[in-house]
Amino acid sequence: MVSKSVLITAAAMTAGVALAGCGGSSTPAAEGSQSGPASHVSSSTSASSASASPSASASSTPKVHVGQKVSGAQLTAWIHAADVTAGNADIAERSRSGSRVVSASGVIGYVDGTVRTSLTESLGGMQLHMVMIDNVIYVQVPGQTPPWVEVKAGGTDALSQMLAPLIQQMSQAEAGISSDPRQMWSVDSATAQRTTYVTQRSAAQVHADLVKLFGAALAAEMPPAAPVQVTETLDARNRVEKIVTTRSGQAVSTIAYSNWGTKAAVTAPPANEIGTFGNSSV
């Protein structure tokens, strides 16, 4: 039996990885790394991170210097332009909330203008497989009939309704729209290989982020918001390498993206294997 809270956490982590990778959120929705292949992914790693399209090259972005301020809108635009031509990347995520550690691994990439993500997530001793295609999240739940739960915009089931704000944010990120275009980022380091940007989010901003991502009702059930620092490292082509969120000097979330250009096909589960929360044996 899988609880609703576990499914919400898993779905939020999947969307959070995609949001962060698209540059669409200053505060990643999920905090959560462990490598391993994910099912529903047909992968044959070939082109390395040097194989991205010239349109996503460093020459398309003005050089920045340490201490320079960059808006959330500009940073998102650079990341989005790089992502849509870069192919897939491998993902490793690890997050901590109190004594609970959540990890995930898989792939993310743009296909025909839409974000496709496949993750295997470990939550509290349980493994769940997640697929996200065109803002529809599929959760494979052990022992359930049918084996997949679908979460989507406009869905009438409880999970879809509760996560509607998160799916809306995913849609905006997919289009290259920053969740907070006025948020300023500082260039912390800049070399020919990579650039690191840092921003601070106050407790009030983090709470506002959570409300925007999950709605007021779910945000009210979460622990009180606290200030965080988000550090985002981009490679020379503006593809995300790592996003680290720290609270009181402690890393609470690390998301690493590697092997950009991996050739992988993320596919949806068969229609006859998909149910919704409340219409299955969850």
pLDDT value at 54 more than 60: no
Q: What is the pLDDT of residues 79-112, one digit of tens each?
A: 888 887 887 889 898 887 666 778 889 888 877 7
Over range 2-16, report the average pLDDT. Answer: 67
Q: What is the pLDDT of residues 183-237, one digit of tens each?
A: 899 999 999 999 999 999 999 988 888 888 778 887 787 778 889 999 999 999 9
Q: Is residue 280 situated within a structural domain?
A: no
What is the phi-psi region of residue 186: left when phi exceeds 0, alpha when psi lies from -120 to 50, beta otherwise?
beta
Q: Is residue 281 situated within a structural domain?
A: no
Q: Quick one: which of 97, 112, 116 has its CA closest to 38?
A: 116
Q: Quick one: which of 178, 207, 175 has its CA closest to 73?
A: 178
Q: For residue 244, what are the contacts with CB-CB under 8 A and spacing of at least 6?
A: 230, 231, 251, 253, 254, 255
Residue 261 and residue 239 in contact, taking contact as beta carbons nearer than 8 Å: no
- Count up the domains in the chain and report the number: 1
Q: Is residue 234 situated within a structural domain?
A: yes
Q: Is residue 77 situated within a structural domain?
A: yes
Burial of 185 (0-12, 13-18, 19+ CB in 10 A): buried
pLDDT value at 165 more than 70: yes
On average, the pLDDT of the chain sits at 76
Q: What is the pLDDT of residues 13-40, one digit of tens each?
A: 666 666 666 655 555 554 332 222 233 4
Q: Is residue 264 situated within a structural domain?
A: yes
Q: Is residue 282 situated within a structural domain?
A: no
What pLDDT does 199 receive? 94
What is the three-class DSSP state of 15?
Answer: helix
> How far is it, in rounded angstroms, from Cα 84 to Cα 200?
27
Q: Is residue 143 situated within a structural domain?
A: yes
Domain that holds residue 167: 4-49+58-275
Over range 259-264, report the average pLDDT. Answer: 80
Q: Is residue 115 situated within a structural domain?
A: yes
- DSSP state, residue 56: G
Beta bridge partners of 142: none
